[in-house]
Amino acid sequence: MTLKDLAALAMETLRDPRGTGERLIAMQLGLPVLWTALALASVLSALLFSINMSIFPAAFPMPGLFFNPVLYAVVLAGGTVISMHLLTWMGTIMGGRGTLAEVTVLLVWLQYMRLAAQVGLLLLTLIMPPLGMMATLVVAFYSFWLLLNFLDVAHRFGSLGKAAVVLLMTAVGIVVGLSFLLALIGVPATEMS
């Protein structure tokens, strides 16, 4: 795929998330390719977050992991892997038929879509801060909409409501999983609060 193909796929995602989800699943990318793509997305997101933090320092104290790009990338990747497994498992519990590879390809693509949006939001916020703040909210809500559609496509529910329930059940699992991961890598509980 060329950069032009990726840009076209991104535009298609915004216009027709369900069709794009089906197209991505049909590519049948293997998990090794998807794990590599996830690792790259996590590193790029951590770098972009670090740049963002240096331009716009936080107005309130933040946990130390946010100031260490390597640790932040590990936590981001770990959280995404936990999400992928939980979304697959919870979807199966709800009667879905999505596989780990199908859920993973859609979540990895969504990570890249969010990364592109974050670059655009950073530039917009530098030029017109109030508009950048409003656009951030729009991107957050649209990302949620994309995720619901992707989950519905992956699990073949035919119901955004079921996808929303899977997402809610997964959110609880993610909190537990990330807490375990942070404890495992040695982040003290005082830094997590």
Residue closest to 111 by CA, chosen among 60, 178, 42 = 42
Q: Which two tokens stand for residue 21?
A: 């989800």
For residue range 112-149, what is the model confidence (pLDDT) as tens digits? Answer: 999 999 999 999 989 998 898 899 999 999 999 999 99
- Interatomic CA distance for residues 155 and 162, integer angstroms: 10
Domain ranges for the chain, please list them. Answer: 3-192
For residue range 2-45, what is the model confidence (pLDDT) as tens digits? Answer: 889 999 999 999 999 999 999 999 999 999 999 999 999 999 99
Q: What is the pTM of this model?
A: 0.85
| Rounded to 5°, angle at Cα 172 from 95 and 26 | 45
Element of type H or E holding 160: helix 160-184
